[in-house]
Amino acid sequence: MYRFYFKCGNDSFMLPASPSYFKIKIGSRNEKAEVIKLGEVGVIKTASLREMDFEFILSRNGFWQGGYGTYEPLHYLNKLRSFKNSGQPITFIVIRLLPDGKRSFDTNILATIEDYTVLENAGDEGDFKVTMTLREFVPCKSVKLKIDDSGNVSKNTVERESKNISDTYVVKEGDSLWKIAKTQLNDGSKFFEIANINGISNPDKIYPGQVLKLGR
């Protein structure tokens, strides 16, 4: 079973339905060249950026998501359109749950939404089949330099103001790890960090009164 999470800027959402498949393609950038008296030789280079393809169904019946209510397909389609048009990479997280409820390895990378297709078949009005292609994104680092009147160059650093915030949270009725991460850490996608810190193998299994470390 898969759980897919998307985050762009301060907005995030969880895919309501597990995809029917998830394919990761790792291409090659190897080249070949002609060398005098040797003929054709291969030049090995690093692998190209990963591409991820998957498909899922958005049902007209809507989806319940942990304490936030029921969302219709249009809610998710609008999110995808907004993320695609943002001009920013997204954080893409995949949680893999085994049949016994234990977690397998996770995927957590920056990616760009290359394209997606929405299909609505006649006779199934209101149900949407969505196919998506994401590509791994590798950011380029930039450093802001400050030049004083004497021509000396230094890095411009900014000190963050520390806040007196609790490092723990007591679970309430109707809570989910996603909701707790969203309200307490301002980022729902950090739910997996809370799960790891507290040794929770199945993110769906928390109970009222449970004290969670937030890892601030």
Query: DSSP 3-state assignment of 3?
Result: strand
- Spell out the residues 6+ positions from residue 205 whose beta carbon is closer than 8 angstroms to its own: 101
Asked if 181 and 195 count as a contact pair (C-beta separation under 8 A), the reply is no
pLDDT at position 144 over 70: no
Point out the least confidently predicted range of 56-70, 108-122, 165-179, 180-194.
56-70
Statement: 165-216 belongs to CATH 3.10.350.10: yes
Q: Give pLDDT, residue 115.
A: 93
- Compute the average pLDDT of residues 171-188: 84
State mean pLDDT over 121-145: 82
- pLDDT over 60 (residue 157): no
Give the pLDDT confidence of 86-122 residue by residue, as tens digits: 988 999 988 888 888 777 777 888 999 999 999 988 8
CATH of region 1-33+41-139: 2.30.110
Q: Where are the domains of the chain?
A: 1-33+41-139, 165-216
As a whole number of angstroms, the distance between CA 203 and CA 140 comes to 33
Is the pTM higher than 0.85? The answer reads no
